[in-house]
Structure 1
Amino acid sequence: MSERSGMPEVRTDMNAIRKSVILIVDDDALVRVHSNLALEDAGYEVVEATNAADALVKLKERPDIAALFTDVRMPGALNGIDLAHAVHAQRPDIAILVTSGADNGASSALPAAAQFLQKPYTKTQLSQMLQHGQTVRA
């Protein structure tokens, strides 16, 4: 049971969504490139967005998106935590991984289905987190 929602937690089998589509959302182009390369090297197809509004549009355009990887801080009306909640509400089937340079309570503000990855992270850490099913979805 998730302490946050009271709902049972279900571990996402990221190997099952391997070679699936991952939506990366980060306003920092260098971070997007780093993440994109890591995920493509791990066998995923990557779609990029620079902010939450762009991500929500791409999510509607691409029903094949299987996971969201988003930064917390970004320009616009919604931050990464808001985006994680919106995505979870619209598409609870999507695995959610949120990242930031500082936790500052971000990890406890996420939907029960989301996991948090502290920056800086390596390509190996990102790939391992996804490959070992550490992203949880409800």
Structure 2
Amino acid sequence: MVLIVEDDPLICMMLEDIVDEAGFDFESAINATDGIAALEKRGTRFSALITDIRMPGKGNGWDVGHRAHELLPLLPIIYMTGDSAAEWKAHGEAGSILLQKPFANALLIAALSDLAYLATGVFA
């Protein structure tokens, strides 16, 4: 199952469709607080995390990725951003991928598959 953390409803629906069509189950959260709560309650169910960086409210995608890494050090993390790519080296978790918005759907699917393979040795 993939955890998707994205505050924009249209982008979130698009991500859900992409992930679903690629054969992954998913759960979505609308902000960093909800994403972290999902990780803390059901973290072992997730095989990957896709998170936006900038979101309203308390916390951001870097916080979600950091908490994910604390709880599940091998969890693949895909960060998405339209304006924060330069911050990835300073804030992104080791082994994560950053996708600059907008990106092609196939790029997200490839990133999910590559990270799943690296984390487990098995293609999803």
Cα distance per residue 1:101-122 (max 9 Å; x no partner): 1234222121213211110012
Rounded to whole Å, the distance in 1 between the matches of 2:88 and 2:118 is 13
Q: Report the TM-score when normalising by structure 1.
A: 0.77
Rounded to whole Å, the distance in 1 between the matches of 2:103 and 2:41 is 29
Rounded to whole Å, the distance in 1 between the matches of 2:50 and 2:101 is 13
Shift of 1:134: 8.2
Match of 2:54? Answer: 73
5+ unaligned residues in a row in structure 2: which ranges?
A: 120-124
Match of 1:122? Answer: 104
Match of 2:82? Answer: 101
Shift of 1:136: 6.3
Identity %: 32
Q: Report the TM-score when normalising by structure 2.
A: 0.85
Aligned length: 117
5+ unaligned residues in a row in structure 1: which ranges?
A: 1-20
User: Would the aligned equivalents of 2:76 and 2:115 in 1 still touch at CA under 8 Å?
Assistant: no
CA RMSD of aligned residues (A): 1.9
Please state which structure has a larger fraction of its residues in helix.
2
Secondary structure, in 3 states, of the residue corresponding to 1:113?
coil
Question: Larger radius of gyration, structure 1 or 2?
Answer: 1
Please state which structure has a larger fraction of its residues in strand.
1
